[in-house]
Amino acid sequence: MAIATDFIIDYSKIAFLFAAGVRQAKRTGRTTLVSYSQPLPEVDPLAFFAERQQTGVNTFYWEHPSDKFAMAGAGTAFLITGEGEQRFEATQEEWRKLLEEAITGGVDAWGVGPVLMGGFSFDPDRPTTELWRGYGESLLVLPRLLLTRKADHCFLTVNALLNPDSDATTLARQVALLYHQPPKYSFNATSNSLSLKDVRPAEEWKALVSQAVQRICEGDFEKVVLAREVRAFAQTAFQAGTILDRLRQNFPDATVFAIAREGRAFVGATPERLVQLQHGEVRTVALAGSIARGSTPEEDTRLGNELLHSDKNQGEHALVIDLIQEALKKVCSTLYIGEPPSLLKLRNVQHLYTPIIGRLREHSTILKLVEVLHPTPALGGYPRNEALQFIRENEGLDRGWYGAPVGWLDRRGEGEFVVAIRSALLDGGSATLFAGCGIVADSEPDSEYQESCVKLRAMLSALEG
């Protein structure tokens, strides 16, 4: 990929818009958002993310490698936080108010312009621990700078809040100086030797699976997803940029993401889209039922066929489809369910996969879709409330943002969120990894444990290098 030798920021346009923002702020007595987007010479957004993240700046990263689409945000122009069951609605309302009198200019395209980036915790009713400090129950950031790559085209978005006494000329000059050269970050090819520790010993976790199966057989719920927590330790600090680079190479069909805050980074390469909303079209997937990849083409085909004909996995998958469909009927006018389930083959694991497409009713947004879908039975269980209560009382770990919605939304209320699985929280030379398994009536503890080990391989391979 050709790398630009210099950045050219259109200072005159930024200064013009900033001056208009100050005038409006004086007229209304309220802060005004100004957002300007322009084309850039081609650069790698991941290099930009890594360079900024290493300096301690709060950063966000998002990439669909196979689609050649990537976004990297740095700094904080505006921050929206929330708590409890109303966090999705409250976030949307605060975002709407900020955009009401916003001044925007330049390029208007998918993933370009004023974009909120961040996510939510898995369960706002679960007490948090020090492990997830700085992330909270709901945190979405309007970055000061957003770099977007779409195929061979790159764009820079600058966001700023102007108040009545802002100096538009000085602020515009400061912004223009933020891009005087392209990122020069080099991804580290050095491998790491890891030591691993199960936070909950294997036999204890298997006993929990047996307990869940017993409760299912007693009729308390039909399915529950139980997660494992594993700590990985290296002799040197993990570099988020390098790990993301490995993930995008290893899993080009996944969504590679990162949210870096306060010197730590939550990173992952998830195969599971929670929901995408673009031009009123809703896209999501049912992803439930898993088996390992084979070491030979013949074994891989055999395992895939075994998954396709497994009553246990097909039943689990059908339950997820039914409940996603039930949730989307609340906000969609039409729905299409792909049939029958197909195989999604990833590097370490293959899943049963069904695409679901709908048309959103008017006056709704992607955050409403996130609210009705999260958590899907693929990450929580069914019935939802009973399964979540069992998780709270028995799982014994702080999921934080694991298995939770992570993503972005634009000024139109459209965007994309994924389920944050195949993920790890990096903190210096330690990493906390999570993997979950769907437990149903005929689940076997040993098989579920082995499945969780297979799911952990994706992140462990990226940590090791």
Going from N- to C-terminal start, the domains of the chain cover: 11-177, 195-464
Establish whether the linkage from the previous residue to 201 is cis, with ω within 30° of 0: no
Q: What is the pTM of this model?
A: 0.93
- E strand or H helix at 265, and its extent? strand 264-270
| pLDDT bucket at 4, cuts 50 / 70 / 90 | very low
Question: First vs last Cα of the chain: how many Å apart?
Answer: 23
Cα separation, 273 vs 284, whole angstroms: 6
Where helices occur in 261-328 by DSSP H, the ranges are 297-308, 311-328
Q: Where are the alpha helices (DSSP H) in 329-414?
A: 366-373, 384-394
Show which residues are catalytic: 223, 272
- Residue 10: is its pLDDT beyond 90? no
Please tell me the predicted confidence (pLDDT) of residue 405: 98
CB contact at 8 A, 291 and 278? no
CB 407 within 8 Å of CB 139: no
Structure-token pair, residue 91: 């976030």
Kindly indicate the confidence band of residue 177, based on its pLDDT and cuts at 50, 70 and 90.
confident
Q: What span, in angstroms and rounded, lies between the C-alpha atoms of 229 and 434? A: 5
Q: How far apart are CA 257 and CA 118, in angstroms?
A: 10
Q: Which pLDDT band holds residue 465 (cuts at 50, 70, 90)?
A: confident
Using CA of residue 21, residue 23, residue 28, residue 30, what is the dihedral sign? positive
**Distance between CA atoms of 140 and 115, rounded to whole angstroms?**
10
Q: pLDDT by residue (tens digit) across 321-370?
A: 998 999 999 999 999 999 899 999 888 889 999 999 999 988 889 999 99
pLDDT (tens digit, 9 = 90+) per residue, 19-30? 999 999 999 999
Nearest CA to 37 out of 162, 168, 159, 149 is that of 159
Find the range with the poorest average confidence among 9-18, 84-93, 203-212, 435-444: 9-18
* CA–CA separation, 14 and 37 (whole Å): 9
pLDDT digits (tens, 9 = 90+) for 42-51: 899 999 999 9
Chain-centroid distance of CA 289 in Å reads: 21
d(CA 357, CA 221): 28
Q: How far apart are CA 309 and CA 428, in angstroms?
A: 44
Compute the average pLDDT of residues 124-142. 94
Residue in this structure with the two tokens 């993990």, named with its chain if needed: 238
CATH 3.30.70.20 fits 195-464, yes or no: no
Closest Cα to residue 328, out of 382, 271, 371?
371
Higher pLDDT, 231 or 193: 231
Q: Render pLDDT for 303-312 as a digit per residue (tens, 0 to 9).
A: 999 999 999 8
Token pair of 301 as six digits: 């085909």
Beta strands in 82-240 (DSSP E): 103-106, 116-120, 138-142, 145-150, 153-162, 195-198, 223-233
- Express as a percent the part of the chain with pLDDT over 70: 98
Gap between the Cα atoms of 84 and 123, Å rounded: 9
Query: What average pLDDT does range 146-161 have in this prediction?
Result: 95
pLDDT mean across residues, the chain: 93
How does pLDDT run across 182-222, given as a tens digit for each residue?
A: 777 888 777 889 999 999 999 999 999 999 999 999 999 99
Residue 60, Cβ neighbours under 10 Å: how many? Answer: 27
**Both structure tokens of 157:** 């978005």
User: Are the C-beta atoms of 138 and 407 separated by less than 8 Å?
Assistant: no
Angle at CA of residue 64, ends 59 and 67, nearest 5°: 140
Residue 431, strand partner residues = 232, 426
Backbone dihedral region of 462: left (phi > 0), alpha (psi from -120 to 50 degrees) or beta?
alpha
